[in-house]
Amino acid sequence: MEFRRLGETKLAVSVITFGAWAAGGWMWGGNDEKEAIEAMRVSYDMGITSIDTAPIYGQGKSEELVGQAIKGLPRDKVQLLTKYGMRWDLAKGTFGFKSQDNDGKDIDIYKYSGKESIILECENSLKRLGTDYIDLYQIHWPDASTPIDETMEAILRLKEQGKIREAGVSNYDIQQMATAEKSIKLASNQVPFSMVNRDIEDELIPYCIENKKSILAYSPLERGLLTGKIKPGHQFDAGDHRADHKYFKEENIRRTNEFLAKIKPLADEKGATLGQLVIRWTINHPGITIALVGARNAAQAKQNAKAIEIHINGEEMEFINNQLSDLEIVG
C-alpha cells in the first residue's frame, strides 16, 4: 500500500481509504453488518489502514461497525476519519433534506455546526468508534446558519484537548476554506470526484495544490457506475438513493459503459478490473491525495485493495483522458 501525508501535517493515510457510507445501510438499501465488518477487516489486512465514516451514515450505525472492525487492532496503525455537522436528532441549523432511517422511519436532516453541537457529536463519535481520539475530524457540509469561525474555534479546542489530531472540511468551496484557515490550519477537503464528475478541476484542485491542502476524493467509482457492472434497466433495492441519481439514468449508464468499453482493453492488458483501473487513475490524478472506496463484502474489499498494484504511465493517463473527453453526462 502507498501512504500520503494530509496537507502539511504528519498524518499519513493509505491512498486507498475505506469509505464506510454504505456500511451504515442508510441510503444504500440496507447492509449486512457482519459482511461490512469483514470487509473493513480484510481491507486492513490488505494494507488499507484508513477508514472514513460519519455519524449520519446509518445514524450512528456506520461508526459503531467501524468501532467493532478495529477492535483489537493496534490503534496507532489505524487512521480514523469521521465527520460532524449533520443532525437527524435535532431540528436546528440549516435544513438539509427529508429521509428515512434504516427502520423506515421518516427523519429530517439538518446541517448544524454550532459549538455545543460539535462538542457533543465528538463525544458520541468517540464512544461509537471505541477510541479516545479521531485522526481527522471533518465538517460534513457547510452550515449557513453558523459562522465558520465559530465552528473552527470549537474544532481548535478539540485539537488542543487531544480528542482530534487534524482538522478537515468536506464539500467546502475555496472561499469557505480560506475563511476556515483564519481560525485553524486545515489538512484537507473531502469532495466528490470521479471520471464522470470532474467539477473540482477548474478551481478547487489548483487552490489545494497551491495552498498545500489534500483532496480526499469520495465516490471515485461513482457509486459503482464506473465498475461497468451497472447495465441499463438495473433495478436497485428499495431505499437505494442511486435509483433517482442522474448518473444512473438509462442514457448516462449507456454512455458511461460505451466509454468504459474503450478503456477496458487497457485494464485487460494489465490484468485489472475496470474498477481497479479507475481507482488507480483517481489517485494518479494531479491534486488528488487519496480515493475513498467502499466495499460491501470481503471480496469487493480485496479487489479494491489490489488496485494499488496497477500502474498507469503518463501516456496511458493521456489515453484515458482523451477517451473521457468524448463522454458527456446528460441531465
- Catalytic residue set: 57
Residue with cell 487552490: 207
Give the distance, in angstroms, between the CA of residue 302 and the centroid of all CA atoms in the same chain. Answer: 18
Q: Exposure of 23 by Cβ count < 10 A (0-12 exposed, 13-18 middle, 19+ buried)? A: buried
Cα–Cα distance measured from residue 4 to residue 53, given in angstroms and rounded to the nearest whole number:
19
Q: How far apart are CA 189 and CA 174, in angstroms?
A: 10
Closest CA to 294 of 48, 12, 10: 48
Q: Is 61 helix (H, G, I), strand (E, B) or coil?
A: helix
- Taking alpha carbons only, the member of 30, 19, 86 closest to residue 53 is 19
